[in-house]
Amino acid sequence: MTRSFLSAISIILALTTTIASSFAISSEVPMDAPDWEEQTTEGSITIYTRPHPNSNFKAFKAVTIIDAPINNLMAVMANPKSCMEWVLGCTVASAFDEKSFNDRYAYSVNDMPWPFKDRDYVLHIKTSNDPKSGIIYMHMNATDHKKAISDEYERVHVAQTIYSFEPLEDNKTKMTWLQHTEPGGMLPGWLVNALIVDIPVQSLQALERAAQSPKYQDANILFDSQGMIIGVDSTLSRQQTATP
């Protein structure tokens, strides 16, 4: 299976640098539904799929143990351009309208080979955490009203993603990634469903490499007085702040 062919469907992996407070268009992807069907295990990564209500496109769940501390991973997620470092096919990534680390927006473009248009999407990202368990959650939902639709791209109107990051011993992190996307256009459901196993595997392998890179080391997660996450301090973020 070629990389260019996989990239054609990579819109199903909306990253960035991160997830929505509500899913008004389509039902939320459930974490622990009984009908998740295991598809493959590669290394520490296990991929599951399930049908999604009123959709021709399946949802997927990826569960993995990443050999990097949660601080590093959150530094990756806080970087508005990190989509291009680890999400397969992501060619453009930026942040805008950031009210806070917990409530922000991201814009991304996913490369599609001819004859398909590149897909672009706007994600509303909500980040929260459980102070007792240390688990951090990111919820992303596609939205249309924040950026004008360009004729150059096919806008993705429905994309739901949930990430959870659980700190483990030995500087490792358990990550669970849930996603359902309606990629729009003429992409057939059977084709997308055939590839949603391969793409998260490749992306998560790239995420581990990114989290181990020097620019994401020595990161610290910032919390308020109630123990709720409010940001990430890292070498990269300090360099970005210092850049005029």
| Backbone region of residue 80 per phi and psi (left: phi > 0; alpha: psi in -120 to 50; beta: other values) | alpha
Place 197 in a pLDDT band, splitting at 50, 70 and 90. confident
pLDDT tens by residue, 219-236: 999 999 999 999 999 867
To which residue do tokens 């490369």 refer? 111
Place 41 in a pLDDT band, splitting at 50, 70 and 90. very high
pLDDT tens by residue, 127-148: 999 999 999 999 999 997 888 8
Structural domain span for residue 86: 3-242
Q: How many domains does the chain have?
A: 1
Provide the strand spans (E) within the chain.
Answer: 37-42, 45-50, 59-66, 90-100, 103-110, 119-129, 136-142, 154-155, 158-167, 173-182, 220-223, 229-233
68-72, 154-158, 211-215: segment of lowest average pLDDT: 154-158
Say which CATH number the domain at 176 has.
3.30.530.20
Question: Model-level pTM?
Answer: 0.83
- Alpha carbon distances (Å) from 16 to 19, 56, 207: 10, 24, 11
Question: What separation, in Å, do the N-terminal and C-terminal C-alpha atoms of the chain show?
Answer: 44
